[in-house]
Structure 1
Amino acid sequence: MSHTDDASRRTGLRWHLRRETHSLHEAADALGGAHDLGTLAGYRGFLRAHARALPALEAACDAAGLATLLPDWPRRRRAAALAADLAALRVAPPPSPPLAFAGLEEALGAAYVLEGSRLGNALLLRGVVTEARGAVAYLSHDPGAGGWPAFLGLLEKALPGPENWPQAARGARLAFEHFLAALRRERTAEPMLHA
C-alpha cells in the first residue's frame, strides 16, 4: 500500500475525531494510568474516577437522543456495570457532575470517546488485582454485535459528510474534559479516603 492510499483512508469522521482529541486522549491516558490496578486501593480509585464521569456522560447522551443514531446504544451503556463493581468492592459511588450536549452530533462525538475507553479498559483487565477479579463487569463489558468495528460503521453512517464534524469533535472534547476533571478530582480525593 502506498503512502497516498494510507492517507486517503484516514479521511472519515473517526480520523477527524482522533486528530481533534489527540492531546486530550494523551492527558487522560497519563492521569488514568496513575492508578495501579494491581492493588485493591488503585483499582478502587480507578473505578471511582470513572464513576465520577461515565454516568453523567451516558445520561447526557441519552438526553440528546443518541439511540436515534445508534440503535444499539442501550447495550453499549456501562454505568450499571460500573455501579455493580463499586458495590461488589463496597465503594460508595461518588457524585457524577451533570453535563449536557448541544445536539446529537456532540453526543455522537462523546460516544466515540466512551467506546474508545471500552477498548482501553479491555487492555487493562489483565492487570487487575486478584482480590477484585469478581468486580470486573465494567472492564469486561461487551456490547456484542460487532463492538468497536460496528460502532465505527454506525459513526461514519450517522455523519458521512464533514459539515457536522466540528460539533462531533466538540462533543468528544467535552467527554475527554469531563473524564480529565473526574480523574483530577479522584486524585485529590484519594489521600482523604485513606486518611
Structure 2
Amino acid sequence: MAEWRTRLRTATAPLHEQVDAAYAGFGFDQPGGYRRFLRAHSRVLGSLEVALEQAGVTALLDDWPSRVRRQALATDLQTLGDPLPVPLPALQLPDPASCWGAAYVLEGSRLGGRVLARRLHLIVPRAPTRYLEHGDVGRLWPGFLERLEAAAHPLGWPAMLAAAEATFELFITAAALEARSSVPEPAESGPL
C-alpha cells in the first residue's frame, strides 16, 4: 500500500483538528501560555518516546536518537523554572504497526514547531525553544515518510491507525489537563 502518509492524514484529520484547537488555547502572548503548552506536551512526549523505545522503534528508525525530544522539552521547562508535570500513562505499542502510528503523530508534530518558535520569538525573543526547534525537519520528516512507506504493511493498518488515534487523544487529554491546571504562575513570568 503506497501513500500511508495520506491514508493516516485523512483518517486522523478530525483528531488533528481537535489537537490544534486544544493547543490554540495556550496563547503565547498570555501569561503562562507557553509554559502550559510545554507542560501539556511534556505530559505525553516523554512517556511516549520511552514506550516507542521499549517497543523497538530503533529497529524501524535507526536514526531514532536524533529524533528524541524529551530532554529538549525538559530543558525548556527547567529554563522557565517549571517542574515536569506528571505524565499520562504511556500507550501500549505491541507491534511495529502501532509504533509507526504513534511515531507518525510525534514526527508530524515537529513540523509546526519551527512556525510556533518564530511566532513565540516575535513576542518573547529570548524564550527557550529547544523543543520547538529540535532537529533538522527538512531531513527528519522526509526520512520518516520514506521509511514508513517502505516498511508499513497493509495487514497492520488497523493497529497503525489505532495507535495514531490514541496518540492524538493523549495530546488532547494533556491539553485539557493543563488548561485547567492550578499550577501557580511565577510573578515575573510575563507572557511565558
Q: Same fold (TM over 0.5)?
A: yes
Q: Residues of 1 paired with 2:101 and 2:2: CA distance? A: 16
Shift of 1:38: 2.7
* 1:141-169, Cα deviation, whole Å (9 max, x unpaired): 0147812111110111121x422122111
1:98-177 correspondence runs (5 A): 98-99=89-90, 100-128=92-120, 130-131=123-124, 133-143=126-136, 146-159=139-152, 161-177=153-169
Shift of 1:194: 4.5
Say whether the 8 Å CA contact 1:109–1:171 is kept in structure 2. Answer: yes
Answering whether residue 174 of structure 2 is matched by residue 182 of structure 1, we say yes
Change (3 A) 1:127 1:38: farther
The alignment of Structure 1 onto Structure 2 pairs a total of residues equal to 184
Say whether the 8 Å CA contact 2:99–2:160 is kept in structure 1. Answer: yes
1:1-80 correspondence runs (5 A): 11-39=2-30, 41-80=32-71
* 1:23-71, Cα deviation, whole Å (9 max, x unpaired): 1100000001111123451111111111111111111111110110111
Moved more, 80-89 or 37-46: 37-46
Structure 2 residue aligned with 1:87? 78
Counting aligned pairs with the same residue, the percent is 40
Say whether the 8 Å CA contact 1:13–1:162 is kept in structure 2. Answer: no
Q: Residues of 2 paired with 1:63 and 1:124: CA distance? A: 30
Change (3 A) 1:143 1:68: farther
3-state SS of 1:193 partner: coil
Say whether the 8 Å CA contact 1:16–1:165 is kept in structure 2. Answer: no
Where relative contact order (Cα < 8 A, 6+ residues apart) is larger, the structure is 2
3-state SS of 1:165 partner: helix
Say whether the 8 Å CA contact 1:76–1:143 is kept in structure 2. Answer: no
Shift of 1:133: 2.6
Instruction: Point out where structure 1 has 5 or more consecutive residues left out of the alignment.
Output: 1-9
Amino acid at match of 2:179: R
Q: Residues of 1 paired with 2:47 and 2:127: CA distance? A: 25
